Structure 1
């Protein structure tokens, strides 16, 4: 099979994407200590660009410069002022060496209650719509998470029942189990306790919200000038903008809380203000969870209303996610593949047919089926792009049997959560890309330029 449907170009805004295969946005922690893209960041993205992805979406890049931004050990890259600009322009220039590959910046106003006070600002709680702490429901773990917990803390195996028993716990039984786990983590892994029982954030003022709306527009405009082809607003799976959308985490009584129109105001204002600066043609979209998948969270029917309001405000593509960090088995990393596709018809209908990106695939057959069904327009690979950076070119060349497939073991996620350098169980190069320039540096454009330069200097006189 040649999987031709995966290699048809598609137009989004003013850019044409050469195929229907995107790399999903994934924070991998390779950023420098002050939020600057590093050599490893460049190598990480460049290897995937050489691998044939038509669209590469960056990890979540934070534009919030304030002490209450909620940054933590995941060490996200920043784009907050001109100090960061030349580093981002180096990234865009590098990726554009690769045969028409487009680069989309995922831009975020912060992490809210899914973050916690910065190591340099312990006295300043993260800002959120309401002062409601994160509380993960451990009954919503999946097999990958269980496997990794047992890997990093073998002694904890005695605390963990099998997954079916854990998922069936109710009432006092679950409370007793959770208390046992919290006590254990407080003793053995205190630095990770906030991942289950989050720090209480503080409620943002209206002035602070408006400040973020305005700053977002400024940095989005800068990003296009720096060479990014598209921008995606980071509003999915429980982070700050999602928290405003969700009645579970937004208990405000002002114009940013209450009705769905009020809860979407922060997001829609960002779109409106950004469109005023970048014009109407740029590729400018939003990533949203199709359903929060938590009691009292934002359901799919309300998400569709959000999509409609975002379209009216000026968004012209949408990217699907699901859940939030409180439901770790669904958000980010389900055990199987194609699960996110269930939300795609709702996204297509609510957006009036605008381009939709759907993640979480492993096999090209499954990915092509999603495209051919008309439910989605672009498929994206997250963990599978970690496992095999060359998935697109292998599929195009008919070398499907050579694909290194993701095992859904969650090694990458757990390394990130435990402050390790992110690795992969099936790809030994992950985290070491900068050590293998031969796998990404010989792009046609750069090779031609270097050859021409060498020709011009080979007969220089000796000094």
Structure 2
């Protein structure tokens, strides 16, 4: 039987993943009641990917406070009703042999937007929207200008990450991820394009990274010693004068010291005019560069077939692969990848016939 790096186990703290092919967080914009509570859609969506063989299934960017949602149709984990709804979903993910991850998020200046097909730009308060907040009063292209956060409000947001982390643990989540990518609040602090502050949260790299590291420390404090904590970074803004992969590697090393176990490396999202050169595995070199700073990494970005994912892990470019759109196209991507690589893995009993060609 062939050996496979992709389908080898991986241990972080007390958690051992059955493989290294994981589901990336993907926003669903499917909370029709607009109350942040996950629905049967989320159960089927995430549960099917767990059933399909993924080692770790991440839910979508999940807001730590109501105003931290990207849109009114997003999930949250700021109250007990949401916690309890997530618990049933997590239980099913576990029943399929996968681990469950939650991406704790605050959308910052990219909050209060419409979902696709409902409108464009910022959703006004008259339609259920709200005032977005940010490091500085600098708008994302096509959105309303956000309100600059006070130092006291920044401290409150850090505390909110901790409270949300506790609810996530109570719901049964195995992995907690701090979302500092894709142009949302923590990324906005990191990038000099969106952070024009002159206090302890602006200017130098240490100051711009302060809220990210404080949030990681707070989540680690709540998580204790056994639960893995990830942090997602956009490795570059793809814009001159913006956030760079070299800065990402530096802050990722600081994040490890603050309690992060793995850096989940993506890119972009801060500006609408970024010129991104996309292609198969186009973000993998960023993951490799950050990994050289001494922290385990996962790679994402147009990773769509088994051989490609296997090579990324086997060559040491990343410790794990996260796939998004491929799991949307095929929730059983992990089972298919194992089959294509000739690796024997456990299939759900009702699906065992799917292993056979005849």
Query: Structures share a fold, TM > 0.5?
Result: yes
Shift in Å at residue 329 of structure 1? 7.1
| Structure 1: unaligned runs, 5 residues or longer | 136-196, 401-439, 445-463
Partner of 1:301: 246
Instruction: Say whether 1:101 aligns with 2:98.
Output: yes
How far apart are residue 398 of structure 1 and its match? 3.0
- TM-score between the two structures when normalised by the length of structure 2: 0.87
Task: Give the superposition deviation at 1:123.
Answer: 8.2
Q: Which residue of 1 aligns with 2:41?
A: 40
Counterpart-to-counterpart distance in 2, 1:286 and 1:84: 22
The 1:59/1:2 distance shift into structure 2, 3 A limit, reads: farther
- Retained in 2: the 8 A contact 1:130–1:249? yes
Q: 1:377 corresponds to which residue?
A: 319
- Name the CA distance, whole Å, in 2 between partners of 1:29 and 1:41: 10
Cα distance in 2 for partners of 1:313, 1:303 equals 15
Name 1:461's counterpart in structure 2.
none
Runs of 4+ in 1 over 6 A off after TM superposition: 328-331
Cα-to-partner distance string for 1:27-53 (whole Å, 9 max, x where unaligned): 022234211111111001111111110
TM-score, scaled relative to structure 1: 0.68
Q: 1:5 to 1:393 in 2, by over 3 A?
A: same
Q: Distance in 2 between matches of 1:106 and 1:216?
A: 10
Superposition CA RMSD, Å: 2.4
In 2, distance between residues paired with 1:397 and 1:443?
13
Please say if 1:343 is aligned against 2:344: no
Select 2:186's aligned residue among 211, 236, 241.
Answer: 241
Kindly report which structure 2 residues correspond to 1:58-457, keeping only aligned pairs within 5 A, or say none.
58-66=59-67, 69=68, 71-72=70-71, 75-98=73-96, 100-108=97-105, 110-116=106-112, 119-120=124-125, 124-135=130-141, 197-327=142-272, 335-350=278-293, 352=294, 354-360=295-301, 361-398=303-340
Q: Any idea what SS the aligned residue of 1:397 has?
A: helix
Q: Is the 8 A contact 2:29 2:71 kept in 1?
A: no
**Cα offset for 1:203?**
0.3
Rounded to whole Å, the distance in 2 between the matches of 1:375 and 1:303 is 16
Deviations 1:92-120 (A, max 9, x none): 1111110x201110111x21222245554
Alpha-carbon deviation of 1:2? 5.1
Distance 1:328 1:2 in 2: 45
Q: Distance in 2 between matches of 1:373 and 1:123?
A: 46
